[in-house]
Structure 1
Amino acid sequence: MKHVGREAAALLNGAGIELSEGLTDAEFDSVHERFGFHFNPDHRSLLATALPLGDRWPNWRSADDIELGTWLDTVTEGFIWDALHQQPPFWPASWGRMPASPEDVTTIVRQQIGAWPRLVPIFAHRFTPAAPSPSGSPVISVWQTDIVYYGANLLEYLANEFPLGQGRKTLSPISVRVPFWSRFIEAANRAESI
């Protein structure tokens, strides 16, 4: 798994992304204590090798808890937005009758999405599942309830997001399925799939 981090850091360096020293075990422990998740093995391997920096990268070392919490809450906030503002509202039948109160809608969406595997931001609106999702986990692009695979694994994602030269985007077969998320993506983001 360590080679994933080295390959990922080399790819990012070649694309001109600013890199800082990787996170220490103590820094990983701090993220876990503050936010209640562990990075999946490939994501951890990258962050242990090098920490990408820039305004679209979460800075797991020095960003404050409010900023990191906002990054982590992006997925749920997108579902809340589409429940409250999309016409018709994004509201799966499996969530029961949609309440009239925006506060109650928000509470239910938070409960429902909170039961799904945690998605952790990598860059901008690209996420990967937290551990216990294994090495080889996909990278997922999340824009409210418009959710697609953006790489079958971390290295493929980085090659897609930061192509060197005129590389074309590829999507290999997904080898690691993510509970709830994979079904939703493969059903073309239909509320009935939930």
Structure 2
Amino acid sequence: MKLHIPEDYTEFLYWIKETTEAFWSKNPETSEDDFVCEDWAYGAKWLGMTEEEIDQTEKEFNLKFTQEHRQFLKILHAIDKKEVYTYEDDETGEVTSQESSFFYNWITDKEEIKDTMYWPYKTMLSDVKGTNRVWLKSWGNIRPKSDETKEKIFSEWFEKIPKLIPVYAHRFIVSNHNNTQNPVLSIRGSDTIVYGWNMRHYLLRELEEHLNLFDDVYDKEDEEWYPERKPEVQKIHDVEFGTAKTKSIPVIEEMILYWSSGWSSFGKENPNKVEGSLQPITKTFVAQDEDGEHNDQQKQFNSF
């Protein structure tokens, strides 16, 4: 059956609400469906905000939601369940669980959101001063030795970035009111990519498992069934990333394009001449240090 994804943004948000809540309403322990929700999501409901709550949040956090983000907050916002992550220690085998918000709740998660708003600055700066030795071309061809100088130059640059507003985990919407569309970024330090070119595009990526946007496809060679995005969904992704060559994001775009991982965000081919699907994340600009050395190693991932 052909999948109908509403083009009208408000209709789309209500479609998200209806589809996800129907998926979460089925008990994963008793459902006979092939694809069920995780235990933590069973029975979950979205918690929309009122206009008054949104207005009060803007004042409290000293920010301004875009119209697209504001509509998302009114209809969806957050759910009444915490997402549960389970970890197993490789050495001891001990299993631990951790809860986190599945989309930030601006009414109950205030302290967490305040900490998260500092995340882009903190983690990017750690890549500038630390192992990854990040240095953007607009900062000059010579990378200074002094951490104080690096931080000063970085801070002056960061101040020019449009407001980055937390949405979920390390995803942030670029709240630039001069743009007709506001992209959502996935930020892990300097390794920053466009996760969606607007909220509709982003939500289809973030919620694809909860929306069951896959078809099972049988691979004869492997003799295995694999999930594959439904054609209607893949077409939307292809259009958004395919037209990204004509799009721009003020200031932070330079950081997105600093590592090769961000190139596909803008419809660019990976610059690495390496065969195979695993591409090392490498710098696309290498500054010279004050002592004359260069450092063009691939990205080192940090725990932050």
How much does 1:186 deviate?
Answer: 4.5
After TM superposition, give the deviation of residue 5 of structure 1 in Å: 3.4
Q: Is the 8 A contact 1:141 1:147 kept in 2?
A: yes
1:115 counterpart residue number = 160
> How far off is 1:20 after superposition?
3.8
Contact 2:116 2:166 in 1 (8 A): yes
Deviation at 1:136, TM superposition (A): 3.4
1:183 positional shift: 4.6
In structure 2, relative to structure 1, the CA distance for the partners of 1:151 and 1:94 (3 Å cut) is closer
2:136 aligned residue (71, 74, 92): 92
CA contact (8 A) 1:76 1:109 kept: no
Q: Which residue is 1:25 aligned to?
A: 51
How many residues align structurally? 190
How much has 1:156 moved relative to structure 2?
A: 1.9
The change in CA–CA distance for 1:105 and 1:155 in structure 2 (over 3 A counts) is same
Give the secondary structure class of the aligned counterpart of 2:162: coil
Query: How far off its partner does 1:72 sit?
Result: 1.2
Q: TM-score with structure 2 length normalisation?
A: 0.53
Residue identity in the other structure for 1:3: E
Measured in 1, the distance between the counterparts of 2:160 and 2:49 equals 28
Aligned to 2:273: none
User: Any stretches of 5+ residues in structure 1 without a counterpart?
Assistant: none
Deviation at 1:114, TM superposition (A): 2.0
Q: Which amino acid letter does the alignment assign opposite residue 92 of structure 1?
A: L
2:146 maps to a residue whose letter is: A
Tell me: CA distance 1:11–1:128, structure 2 relative to 1, closer, same or farther (3 Å): farther
Deviation at 1:106, TM superposition (A): 4.1
Could you list the per-position Cα deviations for residues 118-158 of structure 1 after superposition, in whole angstroms to 9, with x for gaps in the alignment? 12121112221114155532222111111112222212222
Of structures 1 and 2, the one with the larger relative CO (CA 8 A, separation 6+) is 1
Q: Distance in 2 between matches of 1:191 and 1:80?
A: 18
Matching of residues 106-145 of structure 1 within 5 Å? 106-132=151-177, 134=179, 136-145=181-190
Does residue 60 of structure 2 align to residue 34 of structure 1?
A: yes
Q: CA RMSD in A?
A: 3.0
Name the structure 1 match of 2:107: 61
Which residue of 34, 40, 47 maps to 2:73? 47
Larger Rg: 2
Q: Which runs of 5+ in 2 are unaligned?
A: 1-8, 25-40, 83-99, 215-227, 263-282, 287-304
Deviating beyond 6 angstroms after TM superposition, the runs of 4 or more aligned structure 1 residues are: none
Percent of aligned positions with the same letter in both sequences?
Answer: 21
Higher helix share: 1
CA positional deviation for 1:48 = 0.7
Q: Does the Cα contact within 8 Å between 1:41 and 1:135 map onto a contact in 2?
A: no
Distance 1:162 1:21, change over 3 A: closer
| Local SS of the residue matching 1:147 | strand
More displaced stretch, 74-83 vs 166-175: 166-175
Q: For 2:248, give the aligned amino acid.
A: R
Q: Deviations over 1:19-61 (max 9, x none)?
A: 4431122222222222222122222111111222332422111
- For 1:24 and 1:59, the matched residues in 2 are separated by 13
> Which amino acid in structure 1 is aligned with residue 10 of structure 2?
K
Matches within 5 A, 1:136-175: 136-163=181-208, 164-166=212-214, 168=229, 170-171=237-238, 172=240, 173-174=243-244
Measured in 1, the distance between the counterparts of 2:65 and 2:19 equals: 20
* CA distance 1:150–1:130, change in 2 (3 Å): same
